[in-house]
Amino acid sequence: MTSDSARTQLIAQARRTIEHVEQGTIPLVDDTMTIPVSRYQDQERWAREVDIVFKRTPLMLGFSIEIPNPGDYKAMDVVGVKVIITRGVDGQVRSFVNMCSHRGAQLVDEGTGSTRRFACPYHNWNYDNEGTLVGVTNRQDFGEVDTSCLGLTPLPTAERCGLLWVVLTPGAEMDIDAHLGGYAEMLDHFDFGDRWYSLGNQQIPGPNWKLAYDGYLDFYHIPFLHRDTFGPDFSSRPIYDAWGPHQRMTAFSESLLKFKDVPDDEIDLELIDGGVWTIFPHVSIAGFPVGNRGLMVSQLFPGPTPDTSITIQNFLTDTEPDDELRELAKKTAAFYDHVVRDEDYFTGIRIGQNIETGAKSQFLFGRNEGGGQTFHRYLDQLLA
């Protein structure tokens, strides 16, 4: 559902873009910014990012529509933490470390499924969707065990805006409202909870996660790096809006001029809510031209080493998929795999290799690259 406030903000942003297009300008931040190159792949700094940012911040790990019914679950490996997210018989979403209390085996493989019992493949101990240990194999032989203390290890979890949020540290705080702030109503505008059909996902290995994320917040490069794909039709002049660390990036685009004289209450928000929407520290929401409307939601995670990352691209459409639509989705997904893998991440991996030479001590962000500035500044604050 779109709140009045979200509607007001979307229209104000469109009107501001129209003014800028008429003037031939974009909003600029006060100054250029330099950041030390060591911020990217320095081992010690990167380990702190994983511990403080990725293991303490609520991460968007999935969509409510992926586990709609009691018993449904999704299992993932996120920065080395194996997670099960599951919906209980009470409808509530919980998540657990995917690890048996007996001797630590992984209970289920990564992926989605539905079950009322997670049975450990090692010795067949059983847990329900609330993480309670409900079955000890050959219990008459095993000896004394207090099953009430041997449930799965819970992780702080929330379901909000039709999305599934998890903090990867047991016992840590989960304050999803504080994390999202005013951005929650902007996410609510997308109706993730009930509007969309999933068209699957695909994974792409990439460079250092910040080199990848810089690209998601960057329209400056689009006509150049993507000259052979979708770049030539795009503006290289971005316009940023921020809600705390979460940002929207739109383009200096003449396409909005047609709304100049349209009264606010006659504007179809679907026509002005485009661009790239990010969720700090690791999600990008962009268009996916399949069905009446589609979205590509990319989840970016640090890989096992500072110079690697893994991205899960999730594809959604609001049109009930038939075979033809699924075929189109497959082709379009293959195109985005190519663009991100062979253009964005190919470049990012080479940047990472260049960083290792030590030839440059700092990188630059221009006044027109306020999104990258906001991201790196916020990250620094969080780590300070």
Write down the least CB distance from residue 231 to Fe ion, Å. Answer: 8
Sheet of strand 163-166: strand arrangement: 59-63, 163-166, 157-160
- Rg (C-alpha) for the chain, rounded Å, is 22
Q: Which stretch binds Fe ion (CB under 5 A): 67-75, 236-244, 315-323, 341-349?
A: 341-349
Candidates 23-31, 145-153, 178-186, 340-348: pick the segment binding Fe ion (CB under 5 A): 340-348
Per-position x/- string for 197-236, each x denoting binding to Fe ion as judged by CB under 5 A, each - no binding: ------------------x---------------------
Shorter beta-carbon distance to Fe ion: residue 160 or 248 = 248
Nearer Cβ to Fe ion (215/352): 215
Backbone angles phi, psi at 275, to 5 degrees: 95, -160
Going residue by residue from 113 to 142, which x/- string records binding to Fe ion, judged by CB under 5 A?
------------------------------
Residues 46 and 130: their CA atoms lie apart, in Å, by 34
From 66-74, 191-199, 231-239, 337-345, give the range in contact with Fe ion by CB under 5 A.
Answer: 337-345
| Cα–Cα distance measured from residue 268 to residue 323, given in angstroms and rounded to the nearest whole number | 30
Number of residues located near Fe ion, criterion CB under 5 A = 2
Q: Which stretch binds Fe ion (CB under 5 A): 12-20, 70-78, 343-351, 366-374?
A: 343-351
Taking residue 43's Cβ as centre, other Cβ atoms within 10 Å add up to 10
Residues with Cβ within 8 Å of 128's Cβ and at least 6 positions away in sequence, in order, are 88, 116, 117, 118, 134
Selected range binding Fe ion among 97-105, 116-124, 316-324, 338-346, rule: CB under 5 A? 338-346
SS3 242: strand
Does position 369 interact with Fe ion (CB under 5 A)? The reply is no
* Of 55 and 237, CB closest to Fe ion: 237
**215 vs 245 by CB, closer to Fe ion:** 215
Report in angstroms how near the CB of residue 294 gets to Fe ion at its nearest: 18
| Sign of the alpha-carbon dihedral angle for 326, 330, 331, 336 | positive
Q: Which is nearer to Fe ion, 13 or 298 (CB)?
A: 298
Q: How far is the CB of 64 from Fe ion (least distance, A)?
A: 29
Token pair for 264: 């606010």
**Nearer residue to Fe ion within complex by CB, 291 or 372:** 372
User: Per DSSP, what are the bridge partners of residue 94?
Assistant: 86
Hey, is 302 helix, strand or coil? strand
Tokens of 341: 């893998």
CB of 46 to Fe ion, least distance (A): 22
* Chain residue whose CB lies nearest Fe ion: 344
Least distance from C-beta 213 to Fe ion, angstroms?
Answer: 12
Q: Which of 334, 347, 282, 278 is nearest to 311 (CA)?
A: 282
Tell me the closest approach of the beta carbon of residue 215 to Fe ion, in angstroms: 5
Rule CB under 5 A: say whether 344 interacts with Fe ion.
Answer: yes
Query: Smallest distance from the beta carbon of 310 to Fe ion, in angstroms?
Result: 17
Distance of closest approach, residue 191 Cβ to Fe ion, in angstroms: 27
Q: Closest separation between CB of residue 347 and Fe ion, Å?
A: 8
Contacts of 93 (CB under 8 A, 6+ apart): 64, 67, 85, 86, 87, 157, 158, 159, 164
> Which residue is listed with tokens 């497959």?
330
Give which of 350, 368, 332, 313 is closest to 230, Cα–Cα.
Answer: 332
Strand 163-166 and strand 118-119: pairing?
unpaired
Nearer of residues 142 and 335 to Fe ion, judged by Cβ: 335
Counting every residue written for the chain, the total comes to 384
215 vs 302 by CB, closer to Fe ion: 215
Q: Token pair of 318, please?
A: 């609001």
Q: Least distance in Å: CB of 341 to Fe ion? A: 11
Binding part of the chain for Fe ion, among 28-36, 87-95, 281-289, 339-347 by CB under 5 A, reads: 339-347
Q: CB-based burial of residue 22 (10 Å sphere; 0-12 exposed, 13-18 middle, 19+ buried)?
A: exposed
115 phi and psi angles, rounded to 5 deg: -160, 150
C-beta of 58 vs 215, nearer to Fe ion = 215
Q: What are the residues binding Fe ion (CB under 5 A)?
A: 215, 344
